[in-house]
Amino acid sequence: MVKNKACVFISGSGTNLRSIIKNSRDYNFPINISLVISNKKNAAGIYFAKKFAIPFIVLDVSREKFEKMALKELLNRKIKLLCLAGFMKILSKSFIRKFKGKIINIHPSLLPKYKGLNTFKRVLNAGEKITGCTVHLVNEKLDDGKIIVKKRVAISASDNPEKLKKKVQSEEYKAYSIAIRKMYNFS
């Protein structure tokens, strides 16, 4: 099976990256992670790129330089899918247009609700009973774009932002790989 080359952009712990890497080791999974790019030199997720011998680049530079250098790498390596996994920078409209339909993101809410930052705190403050995560195609609007997968999580009275984050993340690890399979019509 010929797999599509993918790149994962990270900024932090890389737990979604780890999950995608593990699933990508399955013969029937449609992508192979060919590159990891971080915008933070101290991102813990770089460890997973090293552990699984995946080439990685740290581009701790301005957005303009980051995008120019990242785009060059993506094109040179013939990357077909870009996965944003805990990537905490907003990509420019120009960058998104150049990779249109080939960028997916995971957000820790049931979009279109609670776009942006501080999601768990906002969800709890609103008194929600259900939350979750959404994997979506990236377009030029923040946390917008065609929804590929949603996973729901029940909120309990004892949840605080940290507990809720852990519950949602456990669903994110499943949702991201399901979404990647859907992108390539794999079951």
Provide the annotated active-site residues.
Answer: 107
Containing H/E element for 24?
A: helix 15-24
Q: What are phi and psi of 177, to 5 degrees?
A: -70, -35
Q: How many CB atoms lie within 10 A of CB 98?
A: 15
Residues 6+ apart with CB under 8 A from 110: 130, 131, 132, 133, 134, 150, 152
Beta strand pairing call for 31-38 and 4-10? parallel
CA torsion sign, 63 to 60 to 164 to 122?
Answer: negative
Rounded to an integer, what distance in angstroms lies between the CA atom of residue 46 and that of residue 17? 9
| Residue 133, amino acid | C
